[in-house]
Amino acid sequence: MATNAILGRDVYLALAAVGWSDGQLDADEADAIVRTALEEGLELDVIGEIEQATKKPVSIDVIDRLSMTKSDRLYVYAVGSWITRLDGVVTPEEEAALKKIGDLLGVPDAPRQHADAILADIAKEDDRPARFDLLRLRRELDERLTAAQAAKPTK
């Protein structure tokens, strides 16, 4: 399954919204979101909008999820899961926000569990969570999603 070369504004705004779910977005979380958007090659005006979303809370409800592919939605869920764990404490508010984002994005429970497992595998390899390789996470998710779809029997 090919994905967009650029994930787009809404993906990163959704990530910021998840980060704000506990009432604060710490500097490591904000940096990871903006850094990944920069690495992805987004336009500077979009980067500016994303930076603003890391400084002032944004609601997940205003994000255009309809323009996201299945892979985009799974990635947003996975990065949201990582963001909730970045500071070492997962609050009930963060758990609720992660569940809400998974529900809003239409990500079923099984893919959520697989995404969390992939996330854990990658996290084990990097002892600096702020430098976690989010683009690698995206590639891993895409590869496994493609393999799962290829394994489905055709009708």
In this predicted structure, what is the pLDDT of residue 47?
95
Give me the residue spans of the domains in the chain.
9-151
State the pLDDT confidence band at 19, using cuts at 50, 70 and 90: confident
- Tell me the mean pLDDT in the region 24-42: 85
pLDDT tens profile 39-63:
888 999 999 999 999 999 887 776 6
- Report the pLDDT averaged over residues 67-87: 82
Span 10-29, mean pLDDT? 81
The pLDDT of residue 72 is 83
Q: Cα(14)–Cα(63) distance, rounded to whole angstroms? A: 6
**Over the chain, what is the mean pLDDT?**
81
pLDDT for position 132: 67
9-151 has CATH 1.10.3680 classification: yes
pLDDT at residue 111 greater than cutoff 80: yes
CA–CA distances in Å: residue 62 to residues 12, 71, 95: 12, 20, 20
Quick one: which of 70, 71, 80, 120 has its CA closest to 100? 80
CA distance 138 to 71: 8
